[in-house]
Structure 1
């Protein structure tokens, strides 16, 4: 005879949540009640259903992951690696994922998702400056963790790589290789990552006493297509500049296409460095010099933090900052 949790609850004269806790050996259940429930479960060879257990405890065991909207989303290799880390850690802890579609910069769309889908907590990506999602989630008492430092309330949990330091390392490396006229194609400057990678570029120029040319700072959108178009504005000045810092690897791919279409060789005519260290960067020609941004580890750590918040466990630290690491390949020419 196959029985359900509700059947055991009825036989034992308790609620389904008490049955669920007893089966987990929860200390809140009286010993006598626990023993009775376990006796019934053994008698009928009961196999607990994880979904039923979660519902009985008023939990869903579901984590929502809010990725950037199309065209990026899982088509961006960095976020695919991040999602792989999230999935690994969630599965090991008995949680499932949902990845709801949220329209770009549409706060109403985000609120609608939060109201329609049941989940225990949410992992958010790409924090904006003055991100409106923070206040909304706090007011609704929804557990959340950011992939990216939102530069807001210190009580907010996040994982990140030091964007400003990583960008600084990239541009400083170009300078050490003899480059003095360096352009950059940035991500959206309303995003924390876009702003602080630009800050790192500016810091490296300033500390090395290099003149800033505003025309060599071009804002893009962290996509291959966006950077392909943006790079066309640099091509007319390429005789003046000797290197470009792309704010992520995906944009570097778009820049490479634009330069190759114009007959400009990398690194012989123009050097290129980027940020993220996606796998694809190893196999393009030339292999891309970049800054490592550990998507897999950040995904795993974000889940670890979130589950501790959901389950009211002690947090050793709410902020996890990974150091950036220069990955030297073949896209930068030494012109000393």
Structure 2
């Protein structure tokens, strides 16, 4: 015979409703009672029926995580793995599970979200990218479904979001390169439809302007967020002119840039990536990169979402996470 919640209650000398609250990690239950109930559950090898509980409580204790890209390149970008680590860590602490999925394009993204919301599989959703006139954000706002975005949305005041100050982060990088004596600085970023590309490009242009350097449009490329696209963009750039330095909006892009430069035997171009992924320190030469605290971005995104779901009062609807340039061989 299977163990029931009443069996656990009898063993812990509490009511069945108290056991239920302990399973839900209710803050009103004392730590001592929680410990006693959990000990009874362990002794009896009791496993709560989460599906039945979700039907009763109208809560799945599950967060949906939407990632960009097709299944072929899913999770190739280390940023999303780092952000997921922060999301998962905070969610687990609060008793939530993660369901992640992906979408190939904008139309597919809205369809995936529609299925998630309509099926009631998740209590809330985390979007890991933000675009201009973002259809996914508009859909979730229309459906009044709890969500948070990693990135700065158009509607900053009425959306929960977490991001870095991407304009300042890139400005500081380019300004430092100029102070090191670099004048011709190339920029290779992801597609301009993504807000993160837009803001980092603005930081790049601002640094040039402040230092009285005219921007050369032939040194600016906005391609896909892939190593191969960056590799091709770099070859085009050096056919026009070999710059003193190249800044990128992602380490994956920086890897493509470095490959193209090394193939051409070019070793004296400074290079900076973003996200400070583990692989960047093992490249030859090692690549300088801006640490955006991706894990912290994920953690605060999960915090904002769970607070919404649980109706916890919040003083802010957004968090700005600090960045730091980690200098390595590519800028020395």
Matched, 1:181 2:184: yes
In structure 2, C-alpha distance between the alignment counterparts of 1:134 and 1:23, rounded to whole Å? 33
| Aligned equivalent of 2:88 | 87
Q: CA–CA distance in 1 between the matches of 2:128 and 2:328?
A: 28
Distance 1:19 1:275, change over 3 A: closer
Alpha-carbon contact 1:63-1:95 (below 8 Å) kept: yes
Q: Which runs of 5 or more residues in structure 1 are unaligned? A: 9-15, 29-37
Q: Within the alignment, does 1:258 sit opposite 2:257 as a pair?
A: no
Length, aligned pairs only: 310
Q: How does 1:139-158 map to 2 (within 5 A)?
A: 139-158=142-161
1:179-226, Cα deviation, whole Å (9 max, x unpaired)? 111111121111110100100000000000001111111111121111
SS at match of 2:148: strand
Note if contact 1:128-1:192 (Cα within 8 Å) is conserved in structure 2: yes
CA RMSD of aligned residues (A): 2.8
Map 1:107-256 to 2 at 5 A: 107-114=109-116, 115-116=118-119, 118-239=121-242, 241-256=243-258
Task: Give the match for residue 324 of structure 1.
Answer: 323
> Which secondary structure does the structure 2 equivalent of 1:297 belong to?
helix
Q: CA deviation at 1:259?
A: 1.0
- In the TM superposition, what is the alpha-carbon distance from 1:89 to its structure 2 partner? 1.2
Paired position in structure 2 for 1:58: 58
| Greater shift in the superposed pair: 200-209 or 91-100 | 91-100
TM-score, length basis structure 1: 0.84
Aligned mates of 1:134, 1:225 — CA distance in 2: 29
Distance 1:230 1:139 in 2: 39
TM-score after normalising by structure 2: 0.85
1:34 match? none
Shift of residue 300, structure 1, vs aligned partner:
1.2
1-side partners of 2:279 and 2:194: how far apart?
24
CA deviation vs aligned residue, 1:5-45 (integer Å, no higher than 9, x gap): 6999xxxxxxx9998459769799xxxxxxxxx9xx99xx7
SS at match of 1:75: coil
| Separation (CA, whole Å) in 2 of partners of 1:27 and 1:229 | 55
Larger Rg, first or second structure (1 or 2):
1
Cα distance in 1 for partners of 2:25, 2:254 equals 53
| Aligned residue number for residue 78 of structure 2 | 77
Contact 2:110 2:135 in 1 (8 A): no
- TM-aligned CA distance change 1:112 to 1:314, over 3 Å: closer
Name 1:287's counterpart in structure 2.
Answer: 286
**Deviation of the 1:135 alpha carbon:** 2.2
Cα 1:25–1:64 change in 2 (3 A) is closer
Residue 229 of structure 1: CA displacement?
1.2
Post-superposition Cα deviations, 1:233-276, rounded to whole Å, max 9, x if no partner, equal 0121344x2111111111000011111111111xx2x1111211
State the alpha-carbon separation in 1 of the partners of residues 61 and 114 from structure 2. 20
Paired with 2:58 and 2:17, the residues of 1 have a C-alpha distance of 8
Q: Which residue of 1 aligns with 2:13?
A: none
**What is the deviation of 1:302?**
1.1
The 2-side partners of 1:116 and 1:225 are apart by 37
Given that 2:184 and 2:244 are in contact with CA atoms closer than 8 Å, whether structure 1 keeps it comes out as yes
